[in-house]
Structure 1
Amino acid sequence: MSRLQRLLSRLKPQNALYRSILVLSGGTALAQLIGICSLPLVTRLYTPAEIGTVSLFLSFFGFWVTGIALRYEQALMIAADDAESHVVHRLATILVVLMSVLGVPVLWLLQQNHVLEFQLLPVWAPLIAWPILLGYGLFMVYRSWALRGGLVSQISQASIVRAGAIAGTKLGLGAFGGGVVALFAAELAGALSSMHRLMQATKLHFAASKPSTIGYLQLHQAGLRYAKFPMLDTPSAWLDALAATLPLPMVASLYGAEAAGWFGLARLVLSLPNAQIGAAVADVFQMSLAEAVRDKDPQRARSVFYMLLKKLGLIGLVPLVVSLAVLPWAFPIVFGQSWAPAGTVAASLAPWLYSAFVISPLSRALPVLQAQEWKLFYDVTALVLMIGCYFLASHLALSLVEFCLLVSLAQALGYVAYALVLYLLVESRLQKK
Structure 2
Amino acid sequence: MTLQRAMTSPMVRRVGTLMGGTLAGQLAVFAVTPLLTRLYSPAAFSDFGLYMAISGIFSVLATLRLEAAVPIARTDTDAVGLTRLAIRSSVGVALIAAFFTALALHLGWFTSSANPWGLAVVVGVSVWLIGAFQALTALSIRRDEFGQIARAKTTQGMGLAAGQVILGLLSPSSLAFTAGDAGGRLAGLGQLLRGYRQAAEGTTFTSSARLLGVYREFPLYSMPAAGINALGSQAPILLLGLAFAPALAGLYVFANRLVAVPVGLIARTLSQVYLGEVGHVQARGGALQPVLTRYLLAALLAAGLGAGLVLLTAPWLVPWLFGEQWLAALPVLNALLLLAVIQVPASAVSQTLNATGHNRWQLAWDTGRLLAVVLAFVVAWQRGLDLAQTVWLYAGVSAACYAALIVAAYASLNRPGRPTPSPHEPLAQEEVP
* 1:309 aligns to 2:296 (yes or no): yes
SS of 1:193 mapped into structure 2: coil
Residue in structure 2 matched with residue 143 of structure 1 by the alignment? 137
Distance across 2 between alignment mates of 1:334 and 1:138: 34
Distance across 1 between alignment mates of 2:175 and 2:101: 17
Which one of 118, 124, 132 corresponds to residue 126 of structure 2? 132
* Deviates most, 191-200 or 132-141: 191-200
Whichever residue aligns with residue 115 of structure 2, its letter is P
Consecutive unaligned residues of structure 1, counting only runs of 5 or more, are 1-9
Distance of aligned partners of 1:76 and 1:382 in 2 relative to their CA distance in 1, 3 Å threshold: same
Residue in structure 2 matched with residue 417 of structure 1 by the alignment? 404
Preserved CA contact (<8 Å) 1:57 1:121: no
Distance across 1 between alignment mates of 2:380 and 2:45: 23
Residue in structure 1 matched with residue 158 of structure 2 by the alignment? 164
Deviation at 1:61, TM superposition (A): 0.5
Preserved CA contact (<8 Å) 1:76 1:145: yes
Consecutive unaligned residues of structure 2, counting only runs of 5 or more, are 421-433
Residue in structure 2 matched with residue 86 of structure 1 by the alignment? 80
Deviation at 1:11, TM superposition (A): 11
Residue in structure 2 matched with residue 382 of structure 1 by the alignment? 369
Preserved CA contact (<8 Å) 2:22 2:154: yes
Residue in structure 2 matched with residue 122 of structure 1 by the alignment? 115
Which one of 327, 350, 354 corresponds to residue 363 of structure 1? 350
Preserved CA contact (<8 Å) 1:161 1:194: yes
Whichever residue aligns with residue 251 of structure 2, its letter is W
SS of 2:8 mapped into structure 1: coil
Distance across 1 between alignment mates of 2:398 and 2:87: 33
Deviations 1:97-134 (A, max 9, x none): 1111111212222212322x245442121122222221
TM-score, length of structure 2 as denominator length: 0.91
Residue in structure 2 matched with residue 396 of structure 1 by the alignment? 383
Whichever residue aligns with residue 219 of structure 2, its letter is P
Task: Trace 1:166-245 onto structure 2 (pairs within 5 A).
Answer: 166-204=160-198, 206-211=199-204, 213-214=205-206, 218-245=207-234
Whichever residue aligns with residue 292 of structure 2, its letter is F
Preserved CA contact (<8 Å) 1:249 1:260: no
Preserved CA contact (<8 Å) 1:45 1:177: no
* 1:278 aligns to 2:272 (yes or no): no
Distance across 2 between alignment mates of 1:209 and 1:109: 45
Preserved CA contact (<8 Å) 1:101 1:130: yes
Q: Percent identity, aligned pairs only? A: 21
Preserved CA contact (<8 Å) 1:23 1:156: yes
Which one of 47, 53, 59 corresponds to residue 47 of structure 2? 53
Residue in structure 1 matched with residue 424 of structure 2 by the alignment? none
Distance across 2 between alignment mates of 1:80 and 1:176: 50
Deviation at 1:388, TM superposition (A): 1.0
Whichever residue aligns with residue 224 of structure 1, its letter is G
Deviation at 1:429, TM superposition (A): 4.1
Deviation at 1:247, TM superposition (A): 0.2
* Deviates most, 347-356 or 229-238: 347-356
Whichever residue aligns with residue 22 of structure 1, its letter is G
Preserved CA contact (<8 Å) 2:259 2:337: yes
Distance of aligned partners of 1:46 and 1:138 in 2 relative to their CA distance in 1, 3 Å threshold: same
Residue in structure 1 matched with residue 425 of structure 2 by the alignment? none
Preserved CA contact (<8 Å) 2:6 2:12: no
Distance across 2 between alignment mates of 1:268 and 1:48: 13
TM-score, length of structure 1 as denominator length: 0.91
Deviation at 1:222, TM superposition (A): 0.8
Residue in structure 2 matched with residue 74 of structure 1 by the alignment? 68
Residue in structure 2 matched with residue 259 of structure 1 by the alignment? 248
Whichever residue aligns with residue 209 of structure 2, its letter is H
Distance of aligned partners of 1:417 and 1:118 in 2 relative to their CA distance in 1, 3 Å threshold: same
Deviations 1:345-366 (A, max 9, x none): 1002222222111111101112
Distance across 1 between alignment mates of 2:23 and 2:381: 38
Distance across 2 between alignment mates of 1:196 and 1:257: 37
Deviation at 1:29, TM superposition (A): 0.8
Deviations 1:40-85 (A, max 9, x none): 1111111111121111111010111011111011111121111121
SS of 1:404 mapped into structure 2: helix
Preserved CA contact (<8 Å) 2:354 2:362: no
Deviation at 1:221, TM superposition (A): 0.9
Preserved CA contact (<8 Å) 2:64 2:219: yes
Whichever residue aligns with residue 252 of structure 1, its letter is G
More helix, by proportion: 1
Distance across 2 between alignment mates of 1:427 and 1:278: 24
